[in-house]
Amino acid sequence: MLTVAPKLPGTDGRKMSKSYGNTILLTDPETVVRQKLKTMVTDPARVRRSDPGNPDVCPVGDLHKIFSDRATMDKVNAGCRSAGIGCIECKGWAADALVQLLNPMQERRKKFEENPRLAWDILEAGTERARKAAAETMDDVRHAMGMSQAYEPTGGER
């Protein structure tokens, strides 16, 4: 509610959800992203190319707000409201922004799929850091409660 783009719209304009079948997936290749954008709903006021629209009521406009840079957003705002651009052109810019975001993620994913050990190494290093942080916190807790630093639960043999 408090952000410029409080919801991520799906290709049919409703909230993006797998159960609606309106998603753009992080794993979608560029061709699929562009195809999905092409069929995305727009501001219904733009029936003809010459009809002005409003990016604030258009799901593609919402995508721009989330993923496009300021310069593109300015072109969308001016072009849509004056009917200076067509929706196909505008959707192409939204697809560009998405592809630019998704490509590096997909490249990284490919690297981990080719060598899963890399992902396990990251998880194990994270586990070790978390274990250390938890041990330090437990030391603080025991100290604050006046318990022996050497206290270890014995599993009920007391």
- Rounded distance between C-alpha atoms, residue 105 and residue 26, angstroms: 8
19-24's contacts with Cβ under 8 Å and 24+ in sequence apart are: 24/98
Q: Copy the structure tokens of residue 44.
A: 């219904």
Contacts with 14 (C-beta within 8 Å, 6 or more apart), sequence order: 20, 22
Please report whether residue 10 would count as binding ligand SF4 according to CB under 6 A.
no
Nearer to ligand SF4, 58 or 95 (CB): 58
Where in 115-154 is the site for ligand SF4 (CB under 6 A)?
none
Residue 61 sits in the site that holds ligand SF4 (CB under 6 A):
yes
Nearer to ligand SF4, 60 or 139 (CB): 60
Distance CA 61, CA 46 (A): 13
> Cα–chain-centroid distance for residue 22?
15
Q: Which string of DSSP letters, residue by residue, matches 8-32?
A: -B-TTSSB--GGGT----TT--HHH
Point out which residues pair with 9 in neighbouring strands: 15
Q: Which of 9, 46, 98, 99 lies at the binding interface for ligand SF4 (CB under 6 A)?
A: 46
Query: Site for ligand SF4 (CB under 6 A): which residue of 85, 95, 98, 99?
Result: 85
Q: How far apart are CA 64 and CA 157, in angstroms?
A: 63
User: 53, 95, 98, 102: which one contacts ligand SF4 (CB under 6 A)?
Assistant: 53
Minimum Å gap between C-beta 78 and ligand SF4 is: 10
CB-nearer residue toward ligand SF4: 60 or 102: 60
The one among 16, 91, 95, 99 contacting ligand SF4 by CB under 6 A = 91
Residue count, binding to ligand SF4 (CB under 6 A): 14
Chain residues that interact with ligand SF4, rule: CB under 6 A? 42-43, 46, 53, 55, 58, 60-61, 76, 80, 85, 87, 90-91
